Amino acid sequence: MTNVVKSWETNGKMDLQAINKPNSGHYIFQWSNGGEIPQELSGSYTSLVFMNTAVLSYVAKTVPKPEVNEFEKARAKTEKKEAKKKQKEEINGTESGSSL
C-alpha cells in the first residue's frame, strides 16, 4: 500500500491522491479507487505546489454541465409562447375596442 501525501476532491466520484513515486523523490497522481490518470495530470512532480496548480486547472476544465430536463425546457418554451400570444391578443383587443 502506498502512502498518500495529499488528496483533492474532484467533480467526479473519486479523489485524486498524491503519492511518492517509488525509488524517486518525486510525486505522482493516482485515483483513490484506481484507474487511469488523465493526460494533463500524468507525469512526475517535484513539488506539491505544482500538483495543486495542476489539480485546480484540471478541476476548472472538468466542471460538470448541469443536467437539462427536456420536459421542463419544452414546457417553459410553450408557456412563454402562450404568454406572448395572450399579450398580443390583449393588445389587439384593446386597440380594436378603442377604434369602435
Q: Going by C-beta distance under 8 Å and a sequence separation of 6 or more, which residues neighbour residue 59?
A: 8, 10, 11
Confidence category of residue 96, pLDDT binned at 50, 70, 90? very low
H or E, element range at 84: helix 70-99
d(CA 16, CA 30): 6
Q: Per the confidence metrics, is the pTM higher than 0.85?
A: no
Beta bridge partners of 6: 18
CA distances from 94 to 9, 84, 85, 86, 99 (A): 60, 15, 14, 12, 9
**How do residues 13-62 score in pLDDT, each as one tens digit?**
778 899 998 888 899 999 988 889 889 998 999 999 999 999 888 888 87
Nine-digit cell string for 95: 386597440
**How do residues 55-83 score in pLDDT, each as one tens digit?**
888 888 877 677 777 888 888 889 999 98
